[in-house]
Amino acid sequence: MGRKILLVEDDRTTAEFILKGLAEHGHVADHADNGRDGLFMATDGSYDAVILDRMIPGMDGLAVLGALRAAGIETPVLFLSALGSVDDRVTGLTAGSDDYMVKPFAFAELLARLELLMRRRGAGTTVETTLACGTLTMDLLKREVRRGDRPIDLQPREFRLLEYLLRHAGQVVTRTMLLEGVWDYHFDPGTNVIDVHISRLRRKVDGEGDTPLILTVRGAGYRLG
Amino acid sequence: MTRWLRSSHARFIGLILLLELIFGAALLLSVTQLVRSNLDEADIATAIDMRDALLAIGRDEGGKALASAVAEQARDEKDAVILLIGPDGRIVAGNLSGWPPNIPGRTEGIRARLYRLGDSQPGPFIITAAPTVDGSRLLVGESTDDSDQIRSTIGGALLTALLTALPLAAVAAWLVVHIIDRRIVHIAETAAQVGAGRIDHRVALDGSGDSFDMLGGTINDMLDRIVGLLAELRTVTDSIAHDLRSPLTRLRARIDRAMLTDDPAALREAVDGISREADALLAMLATALEVSRMEAGIGRERLSPTDLALLLADIGELYEPLCEEQGRALHIEATGPAIAPAHRELLGQALSNLIDNALKYGEGAMTLYLDQAPDAWRVGVADSGPGIPAEREADALRRFGRLDPARGIAGAGLGLSLVSAVAGIHDGALRFARREGQFAVEMSISKGG
């Protein structure tokens, strides 16, 4: 289902690259190349998400976000910025953005994070007690996981990792998203530390004879189902 | 001129002069006041003595004797006015032409200018008056001419002294300003020299430890730090030039090869490789920037109370599967709570770097540990590998510094610089240690406060 997305980005090449990618995935995207227009459009239109650059002419990205939130507009905002230090990210996130991505970026990850944001908003307030994907089920209350009839015994962190994948079933999740979402760290580990966690989880979830559920998406990350 | 008047020098000198003036004026006023009241008292006492002597004559010997005594005194006393008025209001004797108005019948100490009979000028007198036993009134006044003269002499002398002191004070003020000025100008000149590129100039200190010496010392320390940073910057730019060139060359080679191939599978692989090289370059750049930012103290404001034991458990849990996969056991030795003001993200990254290093260069089981020094926590990673030889430790810490055998392994030589910078932001330091026979790299984290 196509969504309405606003891109506030002053670099023409980057903007075209993102707009093209969004269109290919069935989304409708508007573009503003400065902060003032961006704020005006975001305030006016009913967007499902905003991709916001931090260093833009007219009005700084942080100021745009501040003005939006002050006006009571809760559209999910994803910062896409060349300011990439740990500090910059924390600043962006504490300023009220919903996600923070550092340039240069892979489009697959941008799309994955964006869809995740929009789904999170759409999910509303229903409290789920069970998650499922294919024959895999997770009972959040009893903290039990089963693949068909086979119970799967998971460590607490493996449980959270699988829960994260289940909540985003069908979507691409990147390694950084997993590190942020499951471990709450925003640094770049540089090694394949996440891959090992995934492959352990995969050994438990995808037993012999089962259809593999945890898939590796080349150049991006993983996808459940 | 107006510019000079606005300067601190002019204000300083002006202030000293003003204080001198106020002080002088106060001295002048208080001394003349003191002298004046002393002299007045003496004059009144003389007049009272004379009056009381006359009253005694009147009481003991009668009105006639008093009248003749008054007449005699009026003739003989050159510094006094004297007047006796009978009960009927007529003048009995004296050297005044009548009872002066405004002088009551009984008084001690009213000042007045009076004409004595035969004088062409009025003179200053201090007057006493009292009734006699038979109802007459007696007035006796002592001239204050002499004491007035003394008073004005003293006043004049003090004023002269004050006026002489003023230029002296001005000279003193100027000298003080000059002395201060010389020291400050010296500091300013040193700063200007350094600013102009002669960075080895320093403020000369006299070792007195006074505020100028302290200022000079502080500035010297600051200059030393700047010079240190500049040297480091030079090393970094040199190293960046060197270390960026090799991956960029590899990148270039991969692109060249990719352009020559028509096989889609090979092309795909080549693009993958190019993407990996680019990622590595970006990561290297990001780390270099992060280290620079931390060394400039950015991020310090984000320190918040953190349980280091929990952090270690977290990172240990994150890395444990990876270590196990590489056949290396990972033990955690940390008992909490170990609270310190810390930057969770940066510390996490630093620890992950240390574990990466231990995985790459170390051997055997690894220990992720937390123990404590008097005012700091120590967190580190130890393994059974040979570690870094003592004489190479400085090289290992240098930014982009890699020990030669390590050149072949992926990495930019920034890992330990980052760890060191992270420790620095926590008011601590990075150090190498031997720990129960293991080689350890640890950070001290100040407990704060």
pLDDT in tens, B340-396: 999 888 899 899 989 988 988 888 899 999 998 888 999 999 998 888 877 777 777
Contacts of B317 in chain A (CB under 8 A): 157
Q: Choose, out of A193, A195, A204, the residue to mutate when testing the contact with B (most B CBs < 10 Å).
A: A193
Residues B243 and B306 in one domain: no
> How many Å apart are CA A182 and CA A180, to the nearest integer?
6
Q: Is residue B7 pLDDT above 70, yes or no?
A: yes
CB atoms A84 and B286 under 8 Å? yes
Please state, in angstroms and as integers, the Cα–Cα distance from residue B364 to each residue in A61, B350, B383, following that order: 49, 21, 6
Q: Which of B275, B322, B345 shows the shortest C-beta gap to A193?
A: B322
Q: Which residue of B has its CA nearest to A102?
A: B286
Contacts of A104 in chain B (CB under 8 A): 278, 282
As given in the structure block, the two tokens for residue A148 are 């068909």
Cβ count within 10 A of residue B336: 13
> What mean pLDDT comes out for the span B301-326?
90
Q: Which of B123, B157, B137, B34 is nearest to B88 (CA)?
A: B137
pLDDT the model gives residue B24 = 81
pLDDT the model gives residue A1 = 61
Q: A71 — contact with chain B (CB < 8 Å)?
A: no
Contacts of B302 in chain A (CB under 8 A): 87, 90
pLDDT the model gives residue B398 = 65
- Residue B414: how many CA atoms within 13 Å on its side-chain side? 24
Whether residue B81 lies inside any domain: the answer is yes
CB atoms A85 and B314 under 8 Å? no
Q: Which of A87, A183, A190 shows the shortest C-beta gap to B298?
A: A87
Contacts of B318 in chain A (CB under 8 A): 183, 185, 189, 193, 197
pLDDT the model gives residue A201 = 92
Place of tokens 């004050």: B162
Residues B331 and B399 in one domain: yes
Percent of chain B with pLDDT over 70: 94
CB atoms A191 and B322 under 8 Å? yes
d(CA B175, nearest CA chain A) in Å = 53
What backbone torsions phi and psi does residue A106 show, to the nearest 5 degrees? -95, 135
CB atoms A187 and B283 under 8 Å? no
Judge residue A56's burial from the number of C-beta atoms within 10 Å of its C-beta, 0-12 exposed, 13-18 middle, 19 or more buried: buried
Whether residue B142 lies inside any domain: the answer is yes
Q: Which of A95, A131, A113, A103 is nearest to A174 (CA)?
A: A113
Q: Which of A90, A196, A197 shows the shortest C-beta gap to B345?
A: A90
Return the minimum-mean-pLDDT range out of A163-167, B301-305, B397-401, B422-426. B397-401
Q: Is residue B401 pLDDT above 60, yes or no?
A: no
> What mean pLDDT comes out for the span A163-180?
88
Please report how the helices B344-361 and B308-325 are oriented relative to each other, as an axis angle in degrees rounded to 10.
30
Contacts of B283 in chain A (CB under 8 A): 188, 190
Please report how the helices A193-205 and A156-167 are oriented relative to each other, as an axis angle in degrees rounded to 10.
90
List, as ranges, residues 151-190 from A with C-beta within 8 Å of B.
157, 183, 185-190
Please state the domain count of chain B.
3
- Is residue A78 within 8 Å of residue A9, measured between CB atoms? no
- Is residue A157 within 8 Å of residue A206, measured between CB atoms? no
pLDDT the model gives residue B409 = 45
Contacts of A103 in chain B (CB under 8 A): none
Cβ count within 10 A of residue B339: 15
CATH number at residue B252: 1.10.287
Choosing among 1.10.10.10, 2.30.30.760, 3.40.50.2300, 1.20.1250.20, the CATH entry for A130-224 is: 1.10.10.10
Q: Is residue A156 pLDDT above 80, yes or no?
A: yes
d(CA B320, nearest CA chain A) in Å = 9
Secondary structure (3-state) at B122 = coil
Q: Which distant-in-sequence residues (6+ apart) come within 8 Å of A105 by Cβ?
A: A80
Between residues B376 and B17, which one has the greater pLDDT? B376
Residues B274 and B291 in one domain: yes
CB atoms A87 and B299 under 8 Å? yes
- Residue B390: how many CA atoms within 13 Å on its side-chain side? 2
> How many Å apart are CA A117 and CA B217, to the nearest integer?
55
Please state, in angstroms and as integers, the Cα–Cα distance from residue B349 to each residue in A144, B266, B396, B424, following that order: 32, 35, 18, 14
CATH number at residue B73: 3.30.450
Whether residue B71 lies inside any domain: the answer is yes
Residue at B211: amino acid letter: S
> What mean pLDDT comes out for the span B122-135?
84
Q: Which of B278, B289, B314 shows the shortest C-beta gap to A183?
A: B314
What backbone torsions phi and psi does residue A138 show, to the nearest 5 degrees? -130, 120
- Is residue A16 within 8 Å of residue A31, measured between CB atoms? no
d(CA A185, nearest CA chain B) in Å = 6
DSSP E strand stretches across B72-132: 80-85, 91-94, 107-114, 123-131
pLDDT the model gives residue B415 = 78
Residues B289 and B424 in one domain: no
Q: A200 — contact with chain B (CB < 8 Å)?
A: yes
- Residue B299: how many CA atoms within 13 Å on its side-chain side? 28
pLDDT the model gives residue B443 = 94
> How many Å apart are CA B447 and CA A174, to the nearest integer?
36
Q: Which of B302, B319, B352 shows the shortest C-beta gap to A87?
A: B302
pLDDT the model gives residue A171 = 83
Contacts of A187 in chain B (CB under 8 A): 345-346, 348-349, 352
pLDDT the model gives residue B413 = 63
Which residues of chain B approach chain A closer than 8 Å at the C-beta?
Answer: 272, 275, 278, 282-283, 286, 289-290, 293, 298-299, 302, 314, 317-319, 321-322, 325, 343, 345-346, 348-349, 352, 356, 359
In terms of residue numbers, what domain contains B230? 211-295
> How many Å apart are CA B406 and CA B105, to the nearest integer?
119
Q: Which of A142, A121, A110 is nearest to A48 (CA)?
A: A121
Residues B308 and B407 in one domain: yes
pLDDT the model gives residue B11 = 82
Percent of chain B with pLDDT over 90: 14
CB atoms A90 and B317 under 8 Å? no
Q: Is residue A115 pLDDT above 50, yes or no?
A: yes
d(CA A24, nearest CA chain B) in Å = 22
CB atoms B348 and A185 under 8 Å? yes
Residues B266 and B313 in one domain: no
Whether residue B202 lies inside any domain: the answer is no
- Is residue B330 within 8 Å of residue B314, measured between CB atoms? no
CATH number at residue B352: 3.30.565.10
> How many Å apart are CA B343 and CA B301, to the nearest integer?
9
pLDDT digits (tens, 9 = 90+) for B233-244: 777 677 667 667
Q: Is residue A125 pLDDT above 60, yes or no?
A: no
- Is residue B385 within 8 Å of residue B362, measured between CB atoms? yes
pLDDT the model gives residue A126 = 61
CB atoms A193 and B319 under 8 Å? yes
d(CA B226, nearest CA chain A) in Å = 24
Q: Which of B272, B282, B345 shows the shortest C-beta gap to A187?
A: B345
Whether residue B409 lies inside any domain: the answer is yes
Residues B136 and B15 in one domain: yes
CB atoms A86 and B290 under 8 Å? yes
> What mean pLDDT comes out for the span B139-158?
84
CB atoms B299 and A157 under 8 Å? no
Q: Which of B434, B433, B309 is nearest to B369 (CA)?
A: B309
- Is residue A39 within 8 Å of residue A67, measured between CB atoms? yes
State the DSSP string of B375-442.
TEEEEEEEESS----GGGHHHHHSTT---GGGGGSS--S-HHHHHHHHHHHTT--EEEEEETTEEEEE
CATH class as words, domain A4-123: alpha beta
Q: Which of B149, B174, B198 finishes a domain?
A: B149
> How many Å apart are CA B27 and CA B21, to the nearest integer?
10
pLDDT the model gives residue B93 = 84
d(CA A63, nearest CA chain B) in Å = 21
The length of chain A is 225
pLDDT digits (tens, 9 = 90+) for A80-91: 988 877 778 888
Q: What is the mean pLDDT of chain B?
A: 83
DSSP E strand stretches across chain A: 4-8, 28-32, 49-52, 77-81, 99-102, 130-133, 136-139, 144-147, 150-152, 172-174, 214-217, 221-224
d(CA B315, nearest CA chain A) in Å = 9
Residues B225 and B265 in one domain: yes
Residues B332 and B441 in one domain: yes
So where are chain A's domains?
4-123, 130-224
- Is residue B91 within 8 Å of residue B117, measured between CB atoms? no
Between residues B299 and B67, which one has the greater pLDDT? B67
d(CA B407, nearest CA chain A) in Å = 17
pLDDT digits (tens, 9 = 90+) for B257-306: 888 888 888 888 888 888 888 887 887 777 777 787 887 777 777 788 99
